[in-house]
Amino acid sequence: MNLLANLIPASSEIFLLVMVCFILIADLMLTKSSKLFTYLLVQITLLGCSIITIVAHEPGVVYAFNNMYVADMMSDVLKLMSYLGVSMVLVYSRQYLMARGMFTGEFMSLALFALLGMNVMISANHFLTLYLGLELLSLSLYAMVALQRDSAVATEAAMKYFVLGALASGLLLYGMSMLYGATGSLELGAISDAISNGVQNKSLLAFGLVFIVSGLAFKLGVVPFHMWVPDVYHGAPTAMTMMIGSVPKLAAFAFVARILVEGLQGLSQDWTGMLIILSIASMALGNLSAIAQTNIKRMLAYSTITHMGFLLLGLISGGIEGYGASMFYAVAYVMMSLGAFGMIMILSRAGFEADTLDDFKGLNQRSPWLAFMMMLLMLSMAGIPPTIGFYAKFSVLHAIIQTGHVWLAVVAVMFSLIGAFYYLRIIKLMYFDAPESHVPIVVSSDTGLLITLNGLGVLFLGLMPGALMSICAVSVQQSLLLP
């Protein structure tokens, strides 16, 4: 294969890397008052990546770099969602970071490096490529959490994230080495073929699978590998928490789908049982722990654990419907998470973090429109119609019932009912309690427009989810080569 045939599928990643290097150099020449130029340059970069991804799209599955990289419909859809997500993170966080003197080129460059890592993960067809993307994403996020160097809480959160992340990477590498020993390859397609043809050392393959699933569980933040999630969400500045808790979930879905569905489909009976345990434990602990929280960032952290448990239900179901529902759930969760953390930053101001539940008291009296947007986001996270969160949960539950796991769907619904309490509690605080502060809420025009589009988008896609659901189903069918 010639050089051009390798470069065209990865053209968006190449453009992104070139622009990050350019932005790093250009930012050195700008004064602190000129950081808006860096911000605009980053947004232009994201737009350019989107255009290149659309133009370079080819029907079918295209392999490059000796089958280490794959370009397909699923990767292109997830990349476009990632560009949009990172752009939203930057818009939401601009006012928040400026008030704290953290609106720097370093933050924006790290966000783009994290995005590059996500893109590599999404398009990886080889364990080495997967690991390269994962580490680029992880190292960028560790640095972002520690960016507020004067904060002992943020530094502690970064250290916890780094240590546990390194442990997860070690588990993943150990599992990869075992799979290599059992199959003789690190390429996902070759591993799948080797398993289908029969592997002599079954015990080595089984141990490798256990370590792989454990590493994936760490990255998703599901029980019992969830310890880092609440501490990192709470300790990191809210802009960094938003970055960690939203867009990387798209890459995590692709990461899990590539490894388990493409590479280890022959072991699906084994890893399905593991995922069932992880899913039930995540929904149980996530919902029950979230009820006890008074800090909304910790509450959303335990909520994330619960949502990842629901996302696993689609992977457990299998088939086009199950994997499509899981991908749809990931997209829906990212949209809801961005809006929720965006609202926390809107209510925050210089020297004040609106990160407790009491800070949302009487929000309807202070700003009826913001209260309405937050209500839509909370209803969606609770899975109440007519929001996208309801349809996302309904789609994974329908898929799991089709496989005969009715009992698992009943368990998921019961925990979802428990989880509705802490989302509805926020709505109660906004509409029925008196405000503790009457300080005017100052919202920039771009942030105000974005939270409006975010909230109404959650409602609109709940009323008309068909198009997005179809895109997810078709992309997984074509990309994962499902019958």
DSSP string, 225-270: S-THHHHHHHHS-HHHHHHHHSTHHHHHHHHHIIIIIIISGGGHHH
Amino acid at 473: A
The number of domains in the chain is 1
pLDDT, tens digit (0-9, with 9 covering 90-100), for 206-238 = 888 888 888 888 888 888 888 888 888 988 888
Task: Take residue 379 and report the two structure tokens written for it.
Answer: 């209803």
What percentage of the chain carries pLDDT values higher than 70? 98
Spatial distance between the Cα atoms of 421 and 392, rounded to a whole number of angstroms:
19
Amino acid at 139: L
Cβ neighbours, 10 Å, residue 260: 23
Residue pair 190/183 in contact by the 8 Å Cβ criterion: yes
Closest to 111 measured CA to CA, from 160, 144, 78, 81: 144
Distance of CA 165 to the CA centre of its chain: 16
Residue pair 437/343 in contact by the 8 Å Cβ criterion: no
**446/202: higher pLDDT:** 446
Flag whether pLDDT at 186 surpasses 90.
no
Look at residue 112 in the predicted model and tell me its pLDDT: 93
- Segment 450-457 shows an average pLDDT of 91
- First-to-last alpha carbon distance for the chain, in angstroms, is 28
- Segment 331-344 shows an average pLDDT of 92
- Segment 113-128 shows an average pLDDT of 91
Look at residue 453 in the predicted model and tell me its pLDDT: 92
Domain range enclosing 400: 3-479
pLDDT, tens digit (0-9, with 9 covering 90-100), for 84-120 = 999 999 999 988 888 888 888 888 899 999 999 999 9
Look at residue 45 in the predicted model and tell me its pLDDT: 92
Residue pair 212/259 in contact by the 8 Å Cβ criterion: yes
Closest to 191 measured CA to CA, from 270, 267, 264, 272: 264
Q: Which of 6-10, 13-17, 287-291, 303-307 has the lowest mean pLDDT?
A: 6-10
Look at residue 5 in the predicted model and tell me its pLDDT: 74
Average pLDDT, the chain: 87
pLDDT, tens digit (0-9, with 9 covering 90-100), for 2-47 = 777 778 888 899 999 999 999 888 888 877 667 788 888 999 999 9
pLDDT, tens digit (0-9, with 9 covering 90-100), for 316-325 = 887 788 888 9
pLDDT, tens digit (0-9, with 9 covering 90-100), for 379-395 = 999 988 889 989 999 99
Look at residue 439 in the predicted model and tell me its pLDDT: 76
Find the largest Cα–Cα distance for the chain.
Answer: 70
pLDDT, tens digit (0-9, with 9 covering 90-100), for 234-276 = 888 888 999 998 899 999 898 888 888 888 887 878 888 888 9
Flag whether pLDDT at 1 surpasses 70.
no
Residue pair 424/433 in contact by the 8 Å Cβ criterion: no
Look at residue 52 in the predicted model and tell me its pLDDT: 92
pLDDT, tens digit (0-9, with 9 covering 90-100), for 56-72 = 888 888 888 888 888 88
Work out the pLDDT band at 478, boundaries 50, 70, 90.
confident
